[in-house]
């Protein structure tokens, strides 16, 4: 079993400010916390060259925001952990990315359900330097507020989950990770790209909107886009009729494979079939 949430709304934290932002308190990170940050592979650090991300310590959000602002108009604001959905969407709709200011402990290195500074900065910030992701994440914020009003948030949240968090992209030189949830987990990076267990299926909007996901373990299915620019097309779609169609169809479980799926890899399902230790 996993521990209860320790940070943010789920842990009963009360906001000091209405928008839930707090001081990151960058000066207060300890040597040990900085050391947890410093566990990325060299290749990933390479990709973040334009950002003031130094592998030796936790980045300062003010400095990250300066660079992001110049490139894609985004900034990073510190939050204590998960924030309420409406608050999260409002930040995104205004090109502010809420990043957890706490860092996981050394015993939670590989994956935790709560977004900490490692997941948010190491996973999301480099992607927000990309113009397609920058616009798509903002569109998700705008769409999220609307989906809440329409009572269809679970369907929209699946799109975010299977793209921004756990998406794969078919690059000219092979399958690559763009999902931040994968990028911020070394073992899931290996699992998502190379393991025989999970399904890898071509991204199809309505299919994805029907598909439940796991938040407590590796994914059973990864959806693959052909280019990050595909996300820009997605952001232009009027979702109202899509919600109608999807709402009339049965939900799918993460391990399901449909006759209509474009299957890139049919997983053997071994990882999730094994009894829990």
- State the residues that interact with ligand HBI by CB under 6 A: 79, 82-83, 85, 88, 98, 100, 115, 157, 160
Tokens 């060259």 label which residue?
A: 49
Residue number with CB closer to ligand HBI (23 or 226): 23
Residue number with CB closer to ligand HBI (20 or 37): 20
3-class SS at 4? coil
Q: Tell me how many residues contact Fe ion (CB under 5 A).
A: 1
Give the DSSP H or E segment for 171. Answer: strand 168-171
The one of Fe ion, ligand HBI, none whose footprint includes residue 267, by CB under 5 to 8 A per kind, is: none
Q: How far is the CB of 179 from Fe ion (least distance, A)?
A: 9
Q: How far is the CB of 209 from ligand HBI (least distance, A)?
A: 13
**Paired sense of beta strands 75-79 and 96-100, if any:** parallel
Q: Per-residue x/- mask for Fe ion, residues 166 to 185, rule CB under 5 A? A: --------------x-----
Q: What count of other Cβ atoms lies within 10 Å of the Cβ of residue 276?
A: 5
Q: By C-alpha distance, which of 67, 64, 142 is closest to 101?
A: 64
Residue number with CB closer to ligand HBI (74 or 160): 160
Residue number with CB closer to ligand HBI (117 or 221): 117
Residues 6 or more apart in contact with residue 247 via CB below 8 angstroms: 152, 155
Q: How far is the CB of 260 from ligand HBI (least distance, A)?
A: 27
Nearest-CB residue for ligand HBI: 88
Q: How far is the CB of 233 from ligand HBI (least distance, A)?
A: 21
Q: Answer whether 5's CB lies under 8 Å from 40's CB.
A: no
Cα 277 from chain centroid?
27
- The footprint of Fe ion on residues 48-77 (CB under 5 A) is none
Distance CA 239, CA 158 (A): 13
Q: Give residues in contact with Fe ion (CB under 5 A).
A: 180
């Amino acid at each position: 079993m996993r521990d209860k949430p320790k940070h943010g709304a789920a842990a009963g934290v009360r906001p000091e400010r209405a928008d839930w932002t707090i001081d990151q308190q960058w000066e207060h990170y300890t040597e040990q916390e900085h050391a947890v940050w410093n566990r990325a592979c060299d290749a990933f650090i390479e990709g973040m060259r334009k950002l003031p991300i130094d592998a030796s310590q936790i980045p300062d959000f003010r400095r990250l925001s300066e660079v992001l602002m110049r490139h894609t108009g985004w900034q990073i604001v510190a939050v204590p952990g998960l924030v309420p959905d409406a608050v999260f969407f409002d930040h995104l709709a205004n090109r502010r990315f809420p990043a957890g200011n706490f860092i996981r402990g050394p015993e939670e290195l590989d994956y935790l359900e709560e977004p900490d500074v490692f997941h948010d900065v190491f996973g999301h910030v480099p992607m927000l330097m990309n113009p397609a992701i920058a616009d798509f994440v903002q569109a998700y914020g705008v769409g999220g507020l609307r989906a809440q009003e329409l009572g269809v948030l679970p369907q929209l949240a699946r799109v975010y989950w299977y793209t921004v968090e756990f998406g794969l992209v078919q690059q000219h030189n092979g399958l690559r990770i763009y999902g931040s949830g994968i990028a911020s987990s070394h073992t899931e990076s290996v699992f998502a790209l190379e393991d025989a267990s999970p399904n890898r299926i071509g991204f199809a909007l309505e299919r994805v909107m029907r598909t439940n996901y796991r938040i407590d373990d590796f994914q059973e299915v990864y959806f693959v886009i052909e280019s990050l620019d595909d996300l820009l097309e997605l952001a232009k779609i009027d979702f109202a009729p899509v919600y109608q169609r999807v709402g009339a169809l049965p939900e799918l479980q993460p391990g399901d494979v449909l006759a209509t799926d474009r299957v890139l890899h049919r997983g053997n399902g071994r990882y999730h079939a094994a009894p829990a230790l």
